Structures are given as structure tokens and as C-alpha cells.
Structure 1
Amino acid sequence: MMGAWTADDTAGVLSEPTGSDDKYSRGVLGVRTGSDRYPGAAVLGVEAAWRTGVGMVRYLGPRRAADLVLHRRPETVCADGRVQAWLIGSGTDAAARTSDETAALREILRGDVPVVVDAGALDLVGDTSAPVIVTPHDREHDRLRDVFGLASVDGDRVDAAVETARVAGVVVLLKGAMTVVADPHGAVHRIDVETHRLATAGSGDVLAGVVGALAAAVSTGTPLAPVAASGAWLHSRAALLAVRANGGGPVTALDVAASLPAAIGAVAD
């Protein structure tokens, strides 16, 4: 049975910092996204992660993207080190990926910490041992299903997401006007997007950053489907707040990221 994810559900996943917290205990997200062709994806994902309240972001990516990330968010650490979760794939193209990059991504996917897999890294999901959340849109979902020998979706998106999650052994966050989150055990949640102005370039990169930040902040072994659903809910609510702040008119992906603290603050209250 599929239930609608709510503000109260999201509040149960979020954690407020305490006096005993430091940047490590609040979660460290490793980000390996962006490319020379699409460096903005790295900026948007890192921005969203910071706005979601993660303790630290480590960015490991192309020099051009790293320069842009540091220009926008100078607190970002562009050096390898321990992380509590990874975000990979946003703004990348599997066809253009080098063998060294493929090896690095495979090592991440064979690790122990949660990995949020987006866009250009979805083709690698068939070879994983890490806990994984995938964040495809419908066309990417079809390509992911092909990796596992599943037919393209020509019927119910919910049933397809449930099947993908079960066969692939991952949490599926299927983006759309109705976002579906399914886990390998059959649990399924619905997030109704609150404004269609969210359909804009870079929006998915922001969503991936939100989900990555939440995955880095939760305790080891926490089920990832609620994390994914909470990220999608916050993303949708931030978009609605951004639209209202702009007089009901169009918004950009950075506008959505900028509204994340208000969306989180309202839930925390």
C-alpha cells in the first residue's frame, strides 16, 4: 500500500544539532559529481547539501567544477577523507567517463556507507554492496531497468519502481509530478510535488544534494527509504516556498536550494 509522505514523517527523519555535535557528528557528505560539460550540477548539489544542514561537504571532481564549487561555497573541502555518505553521478555522462573515474565510482559503490546515485552513474548500480538510493527520472529509470534486464515502463510507474527496487536491491526515488519512493522490501511512499514550477534545469541536482545530506546525517543502518522520501518532500516544499517568495512566478534551481532552510525550519518547529 502506498501512503503519502507528510511533514510529520519528514520531521521524524530530521535531527536538530545539539551542544555536543561537531561537523563530523552532523554528517560528512562526499560528492563526486559534475563534469567539464556540466559543472553546474556540482555547484547545485553541493549548495543543496549545505543548505540541508550537513556538517561538511567533501567535493572530489573536475578542476573546473571544483573552482566553481569553491567560488560559490568556500567552506567546501576539496580533499579526500572520511565520509558518512556519497553523492555520485549528477552532471556526468557514462559515455564520456574515463576508466579511472569508473574505477573510483565502483570502489564507492562497493563500500559500506550509503550512496545516492544520480544520472551518469546509474549504469554502475548493478555492481554494488553499499546501501544505495537511485534518483532517476522516467527516461533514466528505463535505462536503469535495462541494466537488470527489465522491460521499459509502459504501465504503472509505481509498480515499475517497486519491481526495480526489488530486483536491484536499492531504494528507488522515481522523480516526477508524483514522486515515488520504493524499497527492496516492498515499502512504497508517494510525494505529490507542490508546484510544477519545480520542472526546471538543475532541480534534480538539488534533490540529489538534499537526499545525500540526509543520508550522511542519519545513524548507520537507518532505513534509506524514509531518508529518500524526506528529501523529496523537503525539495518539493522548498520549491513551493521559493515560488511564493517570487510572487508566484518562475524559480530557478538555486532559488529552490535557498529555500531549503525555511522548509526545514518549519518542519523542525
Structure 2
Amino acid sequence: MVEVREWTRSDTARFFRVPTPDDDKYARGVVALRTGSPAYPGAAVLGVEAAWRAGAGFVRYVGPTRVADAVLARRPETVAGPDAGGTRPDVWVIGSGTDPGERSDAETVTLREILSGSATVIIDAGALDLAPGTRAPFLVTPHAREFSKLRERLRVPSSEDDRAEGASQVAVKIGGTVLLKGARTLIADPSGAVIAVEAGTGWLATAGTGDVLAGVLGAVTAANPGASLAEVAAAGAWLHGHAARIAAGVLEGAPGHPIVAMDVAEALPSAIADVLA
């Protein structure tokens, strides 16, 4: 049985601070996203929105022109273009809104270059199959079905009755940090240690909120260089859940109401203000 550490609001607060007069946009963190696709452009829009709303100082979108146009229509302050060359982010976010079955050989080469670099990589959805063998510091963010496929690919025995044990085993095998999404989110580091985050609401179970989480994780990681990636991921997951609670109106025991993913992204500044209070 793996020992699980319960994550708290006070734990989260350690990873957020008010910018000082000496900070510039680069000091607040540079996030680059290679996400979305012509079939799922919204994933890129949501991830970019979340990265900005979670406090990133500079956000770059690298992807198809059609998707970049959608990103810029929503967030014109984003630097967007199809070429990853010259991009020197603190953190990459890849895979959200993409299908590995539709990925070109050229795209695979580009993603593998990102995964071989020095910047931390948040690996989501359609890029999870590329995680084994990654040399960059990395965090994978599977939901239950994606986690099952990843576990099978790594030949890690099933731990359906113990999610924490499963997350721990995969993190050790893959040599990276695992964030297993769910009502009780579990984060396991490469040593096998596990953190649990219970900060959300059932209203969070709606399409696109995982894309928002990926952007949040990118921003929080970029703002905390040198920190434990597992702890940073736990802070990002807690913030994401708290933003959902604010958006859904479930604070102080209220039943709340339906929300969409963009509501969660838009509530992130309020969630951060609450953590800083």
C-alpha cells in the first residue's frame, strides 16, 4: 500500500506570489503550447486562455495556422505561429486536442525534439504515447482511459483497485511525474511518492476542462523553476479545482450549477486572489 500525502490550500499558497517591481514578463514564466488541431481547435484556445489566466508572463502558441487564428481571436496578446524554431520557453504544453492516429511523421519528429530538450514538458492527451524515453523533465496528465493505455504500453501490472499504487508504479517505470486525473487527482513522482488533491466539484466533469488544466500546469510550472514538479502539479490541480468551485458557485455548501471549461479558465484569477489572501 502506497502512502498518500493529502494536499491542502496552504500547500498550494507556497507556489503563488504577488509580482514585485523587479519582475518582468519573462520572470513570471514563459509557456509555449503545441496543442489543438483542425479537428479540435478549442483545446488550444482553452489551454492558452488558462495559461494567461493562471499568471504566465508570456505565452506562445505553436501550431497550425487555422488553430493559431482561433487562439489569436480569443487572446490577441499571444505570440502565435507554425514554427517552433526560436521558441525558448520555460515550459512546453503538448498533446491537448490532438490524435496520435492523425499525427504526421514531421509532427512526431518535432514533438520528440521538444521531449529531448531542457524545458519541462506537460504531456497531455494525444502526445502521451511519446512519453516513454523522454529526456526532458516531464509530467504526463492522463485521465482513467488514457492511463490504462499508458500502463499497458509500459507493461505495468493493473492496479484498478488501488489508483495510488498504479500511479506510483507508472511514475517509477516511466521516470517522470504522473498526474492521474479524477475526482481525487493523484500525482506520483519518479520515486513513487504520491500526493492526492481533492479540490474540485462534480460540475468539473465536462468537456475541455482537461485542456484548461494543462494550461494551468504550464503556467504554474513556469513560475516555479527548480521546484518539485509533483508539488507544482499538485498546486496547479488544486487551483484548477478551486476555480471550478468558484465558477460553479459551490462555495460554502451551495449545490452549484453547470459550467463550461471557459468558465473555469475565467475564474482562475479569482482563485489565485483567494489563495493569496
Shorter-normalised TM range? over 0.9
Q: Which of 123, 126, 133 pairs up with 1:127?
A: 133
Find 2:262's aligned residue among 229, 254, 269: 254
- How well do the aligned residues superpose, as a CA RMSD in angstroms? 1.4
Q: Normalization by structure 1: what TM-score?
A: 0.96
C-alpha distance in structure 1 between counterparts of 2:210 and 2:119, whole Å: 22
Distance 2:66 2:34 in 1: 13
The superposition leaves residues 37-79 of structure 1 with CA deviations (integer Å, 9 ceiling, x where unpaired) of 0000000000000000000110001111110100000000014
SS at match of 2:79: coil
Q: Give CA deviations for 1:62-120 in whole Å, capped at 9, x if unaligned.
A: 11111010000000001442110000000000010011110110001011111000000
SS at match of 1:229: helix
Structure 1 counterpart of 2:196, one-letter code: R
User: Identity of aligned pairs, percent?
Assistant: 55
> Structure 2: 5+ residue runs without aligned partners?
none
* Rounded Cα–Cα distance in structure 2 between residues aligned with 1:225 and 1:15: 19
Note if 1:203 corresponds to 2:209: yes
Structure 2 counterparts to residues 117-266 of structure 1, below 5 A: 117-219=123-225, 221-244=226-249, 248-266=256-274
Amino acid aligned to 1:155: D
Give 1:95's aligned residue: 101
* Residue 12 of structure 1, aligned match among 8, 11, 14: 14
Q: How many residues align?
A: 268
Q: Indicate if the aligned counterparts of 1:126 and 1:147 stay in contact, CA closer than 8 A.
A: no
Instruction: Measure how far apart 1:193 and its partner are.
Output: 3.9
3-state SS of 2:212 partner = helix
- SS of corresponding position for 2:80: coil
Secondary structure at the residue paired with 2:258?
coil
Stretch moving more, 143-152 or 130-139:
143-152
Whole-angstrom CA distance in 1 between matches of 2:18 and 2:108: 36
Moved over 6 A (4+): none
Please state how far the C-alpha of 1:194 moved relative to its aligned partner: 2.9
How far apart are 1:247 and its partner, in Å? 8.3
**What is the identity, as a one-letter code, of the residue corresponding to 1:171?**
T
Query: Which amino acid counterpart does residue 26 of structure 2 have in structure 1?
Result: Y
CA distance in structure 1 between the partners assigned to 2:118 and 2:44 by the alignment: 23
Task: Decide whether the 8 Å contact of 1:134 with 1:171 is kept in 2.
Answer: yes
1:65 is matched by which residue type in structure 2?
V
1:153, distance to aligned residue in structure 2 (A): 4.1
Q: Which residue of structure 1 aligns with residue 70 of structure 2?
A: 68
Contact 2:24 2:57 in 1 (8 A): yes
Contact residue 31 and residue 46 of structure 1 kept, 8 A: yes
Distance 1:35 1:120 in 2: 10
Q: Is the deviation greater in 239-248 or in 28-37?
A: 239-248
Superposition deviation, residue 24 in structure 1: 0.8
* Map 1:32-111 → 2, pairs under 5 A: 32-79=34-81, 80=84, 81-111=87-117
Distance 1:68 1:153 in 2: 40
SS in 2 for 1:259: helix
